[in-house]
Amino acid sequence: MRGLGYYARHLPLESAMKEYLATFEKANGNFSAYVPDLPGCITTGKTLEDAETNIKEAISLYIDTLRDDGKPVPEPSTKAKPVSVAA
């Protein structure tokens, strides 16, 4: 499988880089991360930084698999915004 670095070197910049929203949740003793626009793209990490590193790798592998299988890569579409409420 080809990693993100391969595509960054071999594809035009506009098609090589996409920005996906990753959601991070604190769990029991670790962090989990998932990407809503890429169903099944999930990972964990002992720290938030580990989870961020791992989700970047998971996204890259997910996209590699889609391309290897001849499937389209979904466009990022999920947005997030903090919402303040009285609590």
Whether 77 maps to a domain, the answer reads no
pLDDT at 13: 47
Domain count, the chain: 1
pLDDT of residue 14: 46
Q: Which domain holds residue 64?
A: 4-68
Low-confidence ranges of the chain (pLDDT < 50): 13-14
In a domain, residue 81? The reply is no
What tokens does 28 get? 């029991």
Q: Evaluate whether 32 touches 44 at the Cβ level (below 8 Å).
A: yes
Order across the sheet with 23-26: list the strands.
23-26, 31-34, 42-45
CA-closest candidate to residue 80, choices 34, 35, 21: 21
Q: Is residue 44 part of a domain?
A: yes
- pLDDT score, position 1: 59
Put simply, whether the predicted model's pTM sits higher than 0.85 gets the answer: no
Contact (Cβ atoms closer than 8 angstroms) between residue 34 and residue 41? yes
86 part of a folded domain: no
**CATH at 61:** 3.30.160.250
Whether 62 is covered by a domain: the verdict is: yes
